[in-house]
Chain A
């Protein structure tokens, strides 16, 4: 996952090679470009088209999506949930990444293995696992009962359940991003700060935190953006009261065949996502994001 190597020397050497027929890159690129045009751009354009033509031409769907209380509430849910999930991932991921850098190599490898395993396990499986864990007769309720709790709290089909599961699913992205940055922090920098009198909290705030900030930014943007478009987990574990945008889009299509409003909502979601990524791209470059 951390395979993006930054090696300007080698890529530089490639361009040093005498430029011959400049047609070659185009020929190599053409099949994929054509493919993406037909099977990526056209369907996307169609969503955009449907949003302004279904059921009647005009901007009615956007007006509805941006002003009706239902859609506004759902978008608000979506952003607040994405923010909450991002913060939780950070709270979970940062200490763990810190620990991985500062513990024995063996232990770090074990943790890394666990995170990779979680990352590679289908997120449907992980969603299902949370359903098992949080069910009214599930292990967690059982623990509550053993602790003398009469009526374990309702966990499944709440915002708590879907948030928890999304944090679990997205935490590996955060951890890997922070970890890969922390690994590169020069220990001598930290040591020299220490020798100059920085201690504990202040050392952390003024030296360590700024140095690991790029990892935090990477991880947060990635988690936030993925979370914005989450469909499966909130639909299976959450309640309709805390519906997220993707869930409502899906319902518009599946239950009401309302392609117009569904597409308009999809376009809003898409634009928001792209704006966030574009800002990020300007600052850091998109290819760093999915390191």
Chain B
């Protein structure tokens, strides 16, 4: 049983890894089309990506939208999470479910809703519209991550601060926030990525003034399979890889320089 499990495991690992790896050689291929093995290698499509406004503009739009989405989401979700984790009140379980709902509704359903609704409001095809829609969709994941963090929060520290004479706001700023910082950072990251990757709603409402990168990629894959997609795929993949490896590298360097790792490291 063990040997066969290992073989299956190996195959599954291969299955998961292959699509992630294949885009790298494809992005370096000199062929104007999907051809394997590549007839030659060059960096031409990288140059094309970094000089073509029809690709750079959506990239820029996506970053702006994702940043605004993150700020707005955090402003709304942080207080709500405190309410839901730290207080008891009538209707709390309903509120809890409400926070999760945007995750349960298929994006295509929301896409039609926004397409029609934002049309009436006059904000369809604008960045504002995409930001407002994405913020809704970012609420559940941000709330989940943040509430998990807040539940694990040791409140004796806050009480200690209060008993030493700190006002509630001083306690919040000097004790609560610093301890919650990793949780806040991670939930912001989730909100950012949720928006940056969101495709379906963006396809329907991002239009001419707010075209996002996923929408541009979707259109391009559907239409001309521009080889630049392989470049963007590789870049996005490398960003993820760097993000995931960063903590390991940091820990390694810390260990090399003999400094003890701090205990506030985020749980994976």
Chain A residues engaging chain B, CB cutoff 8 angstroms = 1-5, 7, 10-11, 13-15, 19, 22, 24-26, 28-29, 31-33, 35-36, 39-40, 42-44, 46-47, 50, 92-93, 95-96, 98-99, 102-103, 111-118, 120-133, 135, 137-139, 141-142, 168, 171-172, 200, 204, 225, 228-229, 231-232, 235-236, 245-246, 249-250, 253-254, 259, 262-263, 266-267, 269-270, 273-274, 277, 281, 286-287, 290
Contacts and interface: CB of A to CB of B under 8 A. Distances in A.
A108 B75 CA distance: 37
**B-side binding surface: helix, strand, loop or mixed?**
helix
Contacts of A290: 100, 103, 140-141, 144
Contacts of A287: 96, 100, 144
Contacts of A46: 113, 116-117
A108 to B, nearest CB: 11
B108 A99 contact: no
B232 to A, nearest CB: 8
Nearest to B106: A229
B237 to A, nearest CB: 6
For the residues of A in contact with B, the DSSP-based class is helix
Contacts of A13: 155
Contacts of A128: 23, 217, 221, 229-230, 233
A117 B112 contact: no
A286 B100 contact: yes
Contact of A137 (B34, B92, B99, B218): B34
Given A25-B87, A129-B233, A33 B13 contact: no
Contacts of A200: 1
Given A99-B9, A269-B109, A270-B106, A121 B89 contact: no
A98 B8 CA distance: 11
Contact of A262 (B89, B112, B232, B243): B112
Given A95-B8, A132-B23, A113 B112 contact: no
A228 B105 CA distance: 11
B: contact size bracket: 35 or more
B233 A32 contact: no
A4 B89 contact: no
Contacts of B243: 120
29 contacts: A7-B151, A14-B85, A26-B83, A28-B80, A35-B136, A36-B98, A36-B139, A39-B132, A39-B136, A50-B112, A96-B8, A98-B5, A111-B9, A111-B13, A117-B240, A117-B244, A124-B199, A124-B217, A129-B19, A129-B22, A132-B22, A168-B19, A232-B199, A232-B218, A266-B109, A266-B112, A270-B109, A290-B140, A290-B141
7 closest residue pairs by CB, A with B: A229-B106, A43-B113, A129-B19, A28-B83, A25-B87, A25-B83, A99-B9
Contacts of B144: 3-4, 287, 290
B45 interface: no
A116 B109 CA distance: 28
Interface in B104-122: 104-118
Given A129-B23, A290-B103, A26 B109 contact: no
A229 B20 contact: no
B86 interface: yes
Contact of A32 (B2, B77, B108): B77
B20 A129 contact: yes
B104 A274 contact: yes
B76 A137 contact: no
B238 to A, nearest CB: 10
A209 B70 CA distance: 41
B30 to A, nearest CB: 15
Given A36-B102, A281-B97, 19 more contacts: A3-B144, A28-B82, A35-B135, A40-B110, A46-B113, A95-B9, A96-B12, A99-B5, A99-B9, A122-B233, A129-B23, A132-B230, A137-B36, A168-B15, A168-B19, A204-B1, A232-B200, A236-B222, A290-B140
